[in-house]
Every structure is written in C-alpha cells, then in structure tokens.
Structure 1
C-alpha cells in the first residue's frame, strides 16, 4: 500500500486487449525463489482497509472468527493477513523485532496459533526499506511508527517463518522514499524467504507491493506469487470509488505475466466498505474474477451485510477467479467507446467467462460475439450473479448493462480453430517476431518462423494485431516514415489498429503507412517500421 496522495501521480491506467487463448507463461521460479508452490490466486482477508494501524490480537481474532462464521472459509478464503500497525518499530540489541505483548499477548506465535486453530493461514507485513509507510507518510492515519526490514532481510523473514506465518506482504514506502531499486531489493527478499523456508520447512506466499512504478510484471513472476500493479485502491479516510476500481483493474492487464501461482494484483477488495452499493460490489468482483486476481477482502467481517456476504461467497464467481488454467481475461471487443467485452478461457472444452463492462454514464446494450471469444457455432449463456441459464444463442449474446456496471457471464460452446497466425514477409520468407518476452516498447522484427508464441498473432474484430497479450503499435502514435512498429499494452487507440489488405499490405489505420521491413532487410533481426506504401516486396505479407 502507499499512504500519501502525491504518489497518485504515478498511476497509469492501462487497458490491455488480447483475443482469448494466447498466453505465455513467465519463466518458472528458480530453486532460490521465495515464491510458495501455490497454483491459484490467494483468497483471504487483510486488516488495512478497515482498521489501518489500529490493530491488536482482539481485532484479528474477531475478524478470524467472522471469516469462519460467515461461510467465507468454506467458500475458499483462507488467509488472515495482518497489515501495518502490528509492530511498533523496536529492535533489540541483536537487531531482532521486539513485539508489544500488550498489543499481542503471547507474541506473534500466539495469534498465528489462533488463526491456524480455525483451519486458516496467517499473513504478516513489512516494508522493503529501512522504515515503513507510517514513518514516511503518517499524516491522516492512526499513530504508529513505520517499520521496515532493509538490512535485516534474512533475520526478519526467518523470524516470520519461525512464528508460523504462511504469507508475507512487503510494501514499498521505504523503498520508494529511500531510492532503492525494486527488482534488486525484492529479489534479495525472495532469496531470504527461500533460505528461511529451507530452515523451517514452511513456505510463505510472497506478495510484492511495489505499486507498479518499476513494472514488476516484467520481473516479479520469477521471484514471487503476486505483485501489485497500481497504487492503493482506497486511501485512508476516503470513501470507496468505482473510478479507483477501474483504474486498478486497468493497471493489472498484463496477461503474459500471469500463470498458475503467479498473479497480477490490482489490490485488496473494497467490496462491503461503507459507501459502496451492492451493484458496485458485484461489478468489482466481476472484474477481479475475470482477471484471475487475488481475492483479499478488506471489509469489517463482523459487520458484513447478507448481500455483501452473498457477493463475496458466490461460488460461480469464485470458480472463475480460481480456474486452474490461471489465465487472465483480456479485452476482446469495444464496439463503442466505454462498452467493453472481456473474456477468459476456462478449463474444460469451449468454456469462457465473459464480462460486459459499461464505463459510460448511460445504460447501453453490449454484445459478446462468439467469434471474439474463439468459439464457433451456437453457445449457451449463464448469468453468474442471478444464477440464471439464459439459453442458447447462434452467434453472440447482447444485453443492456446499467451505467458504470458489469454483467458477469459464463459461455459454453465449441472451441474454434486456433486463431494465432504467423505474419510472413514475401521478400524474406521470415516471420514477424517479438523478441525477449515483448515488454512495452519492444520493436517487432523478422526472424526464422519457429511456431513460438511470440510469432502467433490474432487479428481481432477491432482491427488489432495482438500477440502475447499486447498490441502491435505505431510507437508514440507516429505517422511519419521510419516510425518504429512495437508492441504495447492494448489501449484501443488507432495507432494500434491495422488494415490487412487484399494486396498483401498491412497498413496503419491512423497513419495509412505500410508495415515495412527496414531497408528491405531479409535477415534475422531486421526491424519493422512504418513507411509510405511503394509496392515493394518488403511491404508484402501473408497471414498463415
């Protein structure tokens, strides 16, 4: 989490679109990685959104009991995560954490034992820096000193493991304020967790909370289980807002980074907080479920309404989020601005989860076409929130979606033929290729055709050419000769739209320039650019 409003300027709302089915798993965590061997996004509860630093053993016990009594445990919520405020910042002469036994009678082992006695797992919090958020940004929060582990990584994470914790969240307030490099620090923490696990035999889920400023989706999958992609979904003292839910949802659209046990994290849930309606709660959970995001509740479980409980424990929604394929749903259509269709491939044959999201200020009809979902023939549709079978439809399903809300569906039909196609240069005989995992700004190139995912493009109904969860893009919206052709998070802009023409050219919708092998190059590594169409063979392409 982050605590100060100036950090808001770091947020960038990204919307990623990818025709369903093209997902590349990140490198597997190495033997030295601290990532626990989980396969699904974590589900549980965290103390921060409702209690901030005002926590003690009684608060945690009450919420633990309510998690069980509410049916959330039976629905799959298993972690009780103690956030900042648990530690007063004192160390002894040996540098060991000193726990306030008034706040935590019996120490942290006692509260962990209580959580475990309920059949649940326990989570703890620290910061990657020397100090934590309360040290740097105390204004407006209950008084508590900042806490951080920098300089004590091996010592602290071994202590957490010995106390019995199953999950650790590591914040970035200190790392940010102290000018640290996120990848370096979190890799060191991952190594410390791995060493602690080797000593205690207790693996811990590793949650990176870096806020997305240093693009953790590019490096965190190999060292952690989940990584925050944005700032806080709610700031202490504010009321929840759907605009923040949408911003955080957009920030987490990095489908190529996600795989079973490694998840983009758009932050904790605010469902059930005062000021959020039941319809907003359902929309919020629809977006997190289609993303395969962690479901970490943050409301006061002891005061939860029946409607909130029903939303959080909806088994069909949870099954979508927890689907064993571990895919992240992606945007597959936006026929009009703000009227969006997201689809997620589910395990089994011909199964999809679909969200129809209306970002506009008026109710509107949104259509999900089976061709955009990778299905062929007719398909049956079910509304998740109403638990209603809606029938069989020949080519798609349309419904009116209220302003600012979403409809969550499951669709069952017949998988179509694979949609990933190679783009082959007529002059070179080589394929359009996106090297090195395809981070934002990676320039497309020619390479020997090899059938790998970085050469499998999908041409969508909205004229995007998608690969590995990103869109082929005219860099910086360029419209002049020599503009680099790169990949970037899909955003619906015209510099990411392409006409695939019958004469063999591929032209940018915005620029009307041709996709071109630079300098008429034909060798591996030749870069792709935009250039005025001239009829030459280096501007001729075949999709096969």
Structure 2
C-alpha cells in the first residue's frame, strides 16, 4: 500500500516525517506519490563516482541555504558508486565503508531532518553501470533494505541486464517496492530502449527515461528535445516522461543555452533534478534554477505536458496548457543568428479573443497583444510567455 504525501508550501514531505518548524504553521493537503514531476538533485552529472557522505550532507545543507528546497527541490539522490564491491554475509547491499562509513540510514536521517527526502540508485542488471553489485534477482531483499534505510526514491538503471525482457525486470522491482509498504518514488532508467512510456505505469513506475544519458552540450539538449515530441499522452500525475537530469551550471553550455534547457524541461513536465555543485553555484545558475514562474509551470496540478506546435527549422514554438486556462509557450531559436519567432495564440490551444495578456517568465514584464505573439530571440535562447485571453 502506498502512503500519502503532504505538500507544505511547495515542499513535499513524507507523511510521518518531521517537518521543519517554518513549515508547520502552513496548511496541508494530501497528494498521491509523484502527483507533480519530482524535483531535487542527483550526484551523477557533476560528480560521477567522486561521491561520499560529506558531499551528500554538504549538498543537503546547500539546498536549504540556497532556497532550492523551499522552491521544491526536495529529493537528494545518490547515484552510482555508493555501494561496497560485495554484498554482506546475508546477501544485502551495503554502503562503501570508506566513503559512506556512517551508512545510508544515517544519511536518510540527516536529509529528513532538513525537510527533504533521500534517493538511492541500483540497476536492473547483475552489475551497475560502474561495475558494482546491482539488483537483478535480488529485487525483494534490496527493496526491503532500501525501505529499512528509509529511502524515498529509487533510480533503477539498465546496465548488465543479460538481455532479459525490460518489462519483467522492472515489474519485479516495482512489485518489490510496493510490498515494502513504504512510498518510494520509482524512477525507471531504461534509456527509452523499449518504449517504457507505454508500460512504465503498469510496472509501478513514477517516471521513465525516454532517451540515453544527457550530456552538457547544446546538441545533446536539442537531440533529447526532438525525441519528446509525440510522447505527451503518456505523461501526467503519478507518471512522467523523463528526458534526463538538468545540466544547468555544469559549465559546458552558455547561460542562454542553460536558460533554454531549463525552460524546455519545465514545459515538458520533466522531473527537475539538478545535477550541479549546489554549494558552489554561481548567481546566474541560481537564478535559472530558482525561476519560480517556470517551476510553477512544471508543477501545475493539471499535469499536461507541453508539445511542439510550430517547427520552422531553427525556429520552434512549444506550448503547454495550464490548469487555469492560460497557455505557456516557449519561443525557441536553435540557430546561430538572432531570429524573430512568432505564433498565433489560437495555434497554441487558446480560444480566439480580441486580445491577450502576456507575462514574460524570465523578465516578469507584462504586455498585451492582438492576433500574434512574437519576439526577437537571441542565438541558442528562448523567450517564454504565459498567455491569458483578455476577455
């Protein structure tokens, strides 16, 4: 049985977890597991295998002090390389004794005390992608171990899978997680090889990777973006298409490219899982990750994924219906020269009206327009509007 979550002013806590004092005075409402796309941080994109318990604690503290936790980034997820090279005498996974000497349960307690949730990693194979023990044919014992450690999120990879059917491997872990009685967000990292968007919910998944791993490059972001078109019908509350984690702030792209990356992932209802060094991030990175207007677009309770409505080569328009009747649009310039990008409001799903109110979600500026929404978009950049009919 999956237990409910409680949402406290944008921060989601597991029922029964001690909420921080600042949240106790606010109202509560119950939500199902992954009712909106998960938000948080993951160690892989920036740190790879260079992780230890001090890094996880430092990042948890930085998520709080930076304001990211209060903006909704409430998962602290440990990726590959946390485990010891061998299972213990009882056949259970164990933390690397040198890099995680306090153990995973102690980290879970540390993260929970700060009003967040802890995530862990394994693979639906005999070994993880870095050659450490994984969970194929150990699903029940590993799920129980994660639950005993008070883990809240499992990223389940696809390495060393012996060629066995993906559906069967992911179903078995989904059933094992459910049998623990603990609400654990189940992230299916199958790389989109067997169309997991078609069966992810059936095996208990809350999100499923649609592509191979993202890289910190503009070409990688665009390549992944192209593969999201047409997947909209499979995404919604409780189960989300996952185009992989954010690269914002890792140094491989320009500020405008990171702004476009974040805007598009927000519009796609992608899980917003930061992958940077939160404790050392620049003010520019912080401004992108803490754009409250775009986080609100991503977390809109209606849960409708954005879709591509115009494709004019290097100029594209993506649109997402919002639960209040407005539409958010991204005007994207993929090209190497500034360009005017435009769209008629009715192309985005808005009703015909005599005029429309526009809010620029990066500048906050509000304007009005008639029958055309357009903007001059810089190189490798976006302009993002939320649009309401004025009638």
TM-score by length of 2: 0.88
How far 1:333 moved relative to its partner? 1.7
Tell me what 2:155 maps to.
169
How far 1:221 moved relative to its partner? 2.7
How far 1:94 moved relative to its partner? 2.4
8 A contact 2:321–2:349 mirrored in 1: no
Q: How does 1:385-424 map to 2 (within 5 A)?
A: 385-389=362-366, 391-413=367-389
C-alpha change, 1:333 and 1:252, in structure 2 (3 Å) is closer
How far 1:77 moved relative to its partner? 0.5
| Aligned match for 2:317, one of 324, 341, 344 | 341
Tell me what 1:360 maps to.
335
| Aligned match for 2:218, one of 232, 235, 242 | 242
Question: What secondary structure, in the 3-state scheme, does the structure 2 residue paired with 1:44 have?
Answer: strand
Tell me what 2:176 maps to.
192
Question: What is the distance in 2 between the residues matched to 1:85 and 1:56?
Answer: 9
How far 1:188 moved relative to its partner? 1.1
Tell me what 1:269 maps to.
246
Q: How does 1:212-361 map to 2 (within 5 A)?
A: 212-222=192-202, 223-234=204-215, 240-253=216-229, 254-334=231-311, 336-349=312-325, 351-361=326-336
Question: What is the distance in 2 between the residues matched to 1:44 and 1:319?
Answer: 15
Question: 2:105 matched to 1:109?
Answer: yes
Question: What is the distance in 2 between the residues matched to 1:233 and 1:267?
Answer: 6
Question: What is the distance in 2 between the residues matched to 1:68 and 1:181?
Answer: 41
Question: What is the distance in 1 between the residues matched to 2:390 and 2:160?
Answer: 51
Question: What secondary structure, in the 3-state scheme, does the structure 2 residue paired with 1:355 have?
Answer: strand
| Aligned match for 1:211, one of 167, 176, 191 | 191
Question: What secondary structure, in the 3-state scheme, does the structure 1 residue paired with 2:56 have?
Answer: helix
Unaligned runs of 5+ in 1: 1-35, 136-145, 235-239, 416-544
Question: 2:162 matched to 1:181?
Answer: no
How far 1:181 moved relative to its partner? 1.2
Tell me what 1:71 maps to.
67
Question: What is the distance in 1 between the residues matched to 2:91 and 2:227?
Answer: 38
* CA deviation profile, 1:3-35 (whole Å, cap 9, x unmatched): xxxxxxxxxxxxxxxxxxxxxxxxxxxxxxxxx
Question: What is the distance in 2 between the residues matched to 1:84 and 1:99?
Answer: 11
Tell me what 2:133 maps to.
147
Question: What secondary structure, in the 3-state scheme, does the structure 1 residue paired with 2:76 have?
Answer: strand
Tell me what 1:495 maps to.
none
Question: What is the distance in 1 between the residues matched to 2:110 and 2:323?
Answer: 36
Question: What secondary structure, in the 3-state scheme, does the structure 1 residue paired with 2:276 have?
Answer: coil
How far 1:102 moved relative to its partner? 3.1
8 A contact 2:209–2:242 mirrored in 1: yes
Q: Higher mean Cα deviation, 90-99 or 161-170? A: 90-99
Question: What is the distance in 2 between the residues matched to 1:224 and 1:255?
Answer: 17
How far 1:91 moved relative to its partner? 1.1
Question: What is the distance in 1 between the residues matched to 2:345 and 2:87?
Answer: 60
Question: What is the distance in 1 between the residues matched to 2:118 and 2:381?
Answer: 34
Question: What is the distance in 2 between the residues matched to 1:233 and 1:189?
Answer: 25
Question: What is the distance in 2 between the residues matched to 1:277 and 1:348?
Answer: 33
How far 1:123 moved relative to its partner? 0.2
Tell me what 1:369 maps to.
344
How far 1:93 moved relative to its partner? 3.1
8 A contact 2:256–2:380 mirrored in 1: no
Question: What secondary structure, in the 3-state scheme, does the structure 1 residue paired with 2:95 have?
Answer: coil
* CA deviation profile, 1:95-154 (whole Å, cap 9, x unmatched): 11233333223311111101111111000000000111012xxxxxxxxxx231011100
8 A contact 2:357–2:388 mirrored in 1: yes
| Aligned match for 1:84, one of 80, 86, 100 | 80
How far 1:55 moved relative to its partner? 1.0
8 A contact 1:221–1:258 mirrored in 2: no
Q: How does 1:24-63 map to 2 (within 5 A)?
A: 37-63=33-59
How far 1:342 moved relative to its partner? 0.8
8 A contact 1:87–1:100 mirrored in 2: yes
Question: What is the distance in 2 between the residues matched to 1:257 and 1:361?
Answer: 33
Question: What is the distance in 1 between the residues matched to 2:368 and 2:42?
Answer: 41
* CA deviation profile, 1:421-447 (whole Å, cap 9, x unmatched): xxxxxxxxxxxxxxxxxxxxxxxxxxx
How far 1:414 moved relative to its partner? 6.7
TM-score by length of 1: 0.64
Unaligned runs of 5+ in 2: 1-31
Question: What is the distance in 2 between the residues matched to 1:242 and 1:262?
Answer: 27
Q: CA RMSD of the aligned region, Å?
A: 1.4
Question: What is the distance in 1 between the residues matched to 2:56 and 2:156?
Answer: 19
Question: What is the distance in 2 between the residues matched to 1:394 and 1:92?
Answer: 67
